[in-house]
Amino acid sequence: MALSAIEKSLEKLGLKNLEMIYWNTPSPVLYEEAIRRREGHLSHMGPLVVQTGYFTGRAAKDKFIVDEPESSSNINWGDINHPISEASFDALFDRVCAYLDGHQLFVQDCLAGADSEFEVPVRVITQDAWHALFARTMLVRPVDFDREIGVDEPQFTIIHAPHYHALPSVDGTNSEAFILINFARRLVLIGGTSYAGEIKKSVFTYMNYLLPQMQVMSMHASANVGKNGDVAIFFGLSGTGKTTLSSDPTRRLIGDDEHGWSDKGIFNIEGGCYAKVIHLSFEKEPAIYDMTHHFGTVMENVYLNIHDRRLNLDDDRMTENTRAAYPITHVEGAIYPGIAGHPDNIVFLTADAFGVLPPISKLTPEQAMYHFLSGYTAKVAGTEAGVTEPEATFSTCFGGPFMPLHPHVYANLLGDKIKKHQADCWLINTGWSGGPYGVGERMDISYTRAMLNSVLDGELANVVYRQHPIFNVHVPQSCPGVPDDVLNPDQTWADKAAYEVKAYELAAHFHKNFEKFEHDVSDDVRSAGPVRV
């Protein structure tokens, strides 16, 4: 598209008198360095290391959805989806546009969605070259397939002004940071925070609004495919092992975080990966570790020694949430664009710090919907201020902060697709065994991998199962590479009575959390959870 057409398109948004627009280029400096490297003038080029300042993670309390007639009745308003008026959005939008007047901006036109039938043209307009590089890294890049988007106006636009700070008393925000999503105008306004994850998750939130209305299941999950074409999906919150377990050298990665499931199969919403890298090591996660030294990777808030230019992945002085963003094409064997068939196995990952859930269990479709709506894992002591004992945590659909529609919309879609395509569903606990956190031990990763491999290889199809007396899930009584007693958590506890007390305690947490869903699900799903005392 000609630059003049782009400028006219941006003028319609209120962005005028721009000093210069670098169209679909991450940074002239980066290009210059890439050319020098190709010509042999640089012996080594590492990742781009950046700092995001005060915000080193998502500003969850500063995200708002515009309350307007077109989308209002569809939104699940509440603790996560906070409303802001159209008038407040328009006023802040005008102030941001006035602030950007005369600035140099970087513009990227990319796609959300690897399947061309459901792709959404996305335009990201940002102040910083590195944020433009991040957007280009994380989204699907049409240029990779010799394509041009070819539209004057994209379907979805992000205006990213990280150095503009709101005034809460004037703008109606909670702080100087703001993430405002206007579904009617297909527009997101981000400011006051340089944390790049806000760009990525704004796109995901929009797709979570759009895709289910097209009968496509949107999923906060990773996915891979085996040599025989069998597809596996992994749902899991932070710390449960989603990235680690889906990064398997014997299987091809489809994507590490966001996917859609249509009537044709699954597809990656993104074109890159955004991995947490704190305490990362080559021994535990060689594929991801290699990306931390790769040219083109964007490293957020990782400590860089300015004297020897070495990264210290164990240094958390800026945050525990250190990140690496890299194109999925950097991952050996990855599928790009990420399109595959229907899943054969769906795995829900949890890290149960109470030490009472079985390390692996099979779920009925109704139990899968129950656990999907619950989205359980647990915090352990020391992870957050004030957490001294294991604490149950529930994130609806394993991605509540990014789900604007009512949870039952996503759960019903999942249930329908599981039944239609006969996917097997599993709950894998990567948490504690033999007692709660502080008493028992974290589940041996070699056992977890053995259980997962048995799932993917079909080796658990013909073993004997036992229904757990409290959680109602079906527990295999044998698994290659795993001692039989490990499979039954009560047998790993020295005090069996103490196990029962803790198990019922966790069951009560499930029941309390599920109260908000009881009127939106069938009796079969409602009764698919743990037993009641």
DSSP character at residue 443? P
- Tell me the average pLDDT across 296-316: 91
pLDDT at residue 43 greater than cutoff 80? no
Given 330, 355, 376, the domain boundary residue is 330
Q: Domain of 302: which CATH number?
A: 2.170.8.10
Q: Which of 27-41, 78-92, 319-333, 403-417 shows the lowest mean pLDDT across its residues?
A: 27-41
Strands (E), 68-145: 82-85, 104-112, 120-126
Q: Domain of 41: which CATH number?
A: 3.40.449.10
Q: Looking at the domain assignment, is residue 266 inside a domain?
A: no
pLDDT at 32: 47
pLDDT per residue over 173-224, tens digit each? 999 999 999 999 999 999 999 999 999 999 999 999 999 999 999 999 999 9
The one catalytic residue in 67, 171, 256, 257 is 257
Report which of residues 46 and 261 the model is more confident about. 261
Show the domain range for 419.
217-261+342-526
Q: Which of 19-23, 205-209, 249-253 shows the lowest mean pLDDT across its residues?
A: 19-23
pLDDT at 380: 67
Distant-in-sequence, close-in-space partners of 285: CB < 8 Å, separation ≥ 6? 243, 244, 247
Return the structure tokens found at 370.
């129950």
| Counted domains in the chain | 3
238 included as an active-site residue: yes
- Tell me the average pLDDT across 492-511: 96
Q: What are the distances in angstroms from CA 70 to CA 74, 108, 183, 184, 208?
A: 9, 27, 8, 6, 16
Residue 164 one-letter amino acid: Y
Closest CA to 24 of 103, 104, 107, 105: 107
pLDDT per residue over 377-392, tens digit each? 997 644 444 445 678 9
pLDDT at 500: 96
Q: Looking at the domain assignment, is residue 396 inside a domain?
A: yes
Q: What are the distances in angstroms from CA 230 to CA 269, 345, 463?
A: 20, 8, 21
- CA dist 5 and 393 (Å) reads 49
pLDDT at residue 463 greater than cutoff 90? yes
pLDDT at residue 149 greater than cutoff 90? no
DSSP character at residue 339? E
432-433/441-442 β-pairing:
antiparallel
58 included as an active-site residue: yes
The one catalytic residue in 9, 56, 243, 246 is 243
Q: Are 93 and 125 members of one domain?
A: yes
Q: Are 423 and 465 members of one domain?
A: yes
pLDDT at 384: 44
Q: Looking at the domain assignment, is residue 360 inside a domain?
A: yes
Q: Looking at the domain assignment, is residue 433 inside a domain?
A: yes
Q: Are 438 and 455 members of one domain?
A: yes
The one catalytic residue in 131, 200, 201, 509 is 201
Q: Are 280 and 205 members of one domain?
A: no
Cβ contact 423:413 at 8 Å: no
Q: Are 359 and 497 members of one domain?
A: yes
Q: Looking at the domain assignment, is residue 336 inside a domain?
A: no
Mean pLDDT rounded to a whole number for the chain:
90
pLDDT at residue 527 greater than cutoff 60? yes
The one catalytic residue in 63, 131, 185, 220 is 220
Give whichever of 73-87, 292-306, 381-395 has the largest mean pLDDT. Answer: 73-87
The one catalytic residue in 58, 141, 406, 408 is 58
Q: Looking at the domain assignment, is residue 337 inside a domain?
A: no
Given 310, 330, 350, the domain boundary residue is 330
The one catalytic residue in 63, 242, 406, 417 is 242
Report which of residues 390 and 453 the model is more confident about. 453
Q: Domain of 521: which CATH number?
A: 3.90.228.20
Q: Are 237 and 287 members of one domain?
A: no
pLDDT at residue 156 greater than cutoff 90? yes
257 included as an active-site residue: yes
Q: Are 205 and 325 members of one domain?
A: no
Largest CA distance in the chain: 74
- CA dist 179 and 420 (Å) reads 37
Q: How many CA atoms lie within 13 A of 382 on its CB side?
A: 4
pLDDT at residue 262 greater than cutoff 70? yes
343-350/424-429 β-pairing:
parallel
Distant-in-sequence, close-in-space partners of 76: CB < 8 Å, separation ≥ 6? 403, 404, 405, 406, 407
Q: Are 417 and 311 members of one domain?
A: no
Peptide bond into 436 cis (omega under 30): no
Q: What are the distances in angstroms from CA 121 to CA 124, 133, 168, 172, 271?
A: 10, 17, 32, 30, 13
Report which of residues 6 and 75 the model is more confident about. 75
243 included as an active-site residue: yes
The one catalytic residue in 323, 408, 474, 509 is 323
Q: Are 287 and 145 members of one domain?
A: no
pLDDT at 283: 85
pLDDT at residue 229 greater than cutoff 60? yes
Q: Are 198 and 226 members of one domain?
A: no
Q: Looking at the domain assignment, is residue 533 inside a domain?
A: no
Cβ contact 301:322 at 8 Å: yes
Q: Are 131 and 33 members of one domain?
A: yes
Q: Are 237 and 207 members of one domain?
A: no
Q: Looking at the domain assignment, is residue 33 inside a domain?
A: yes
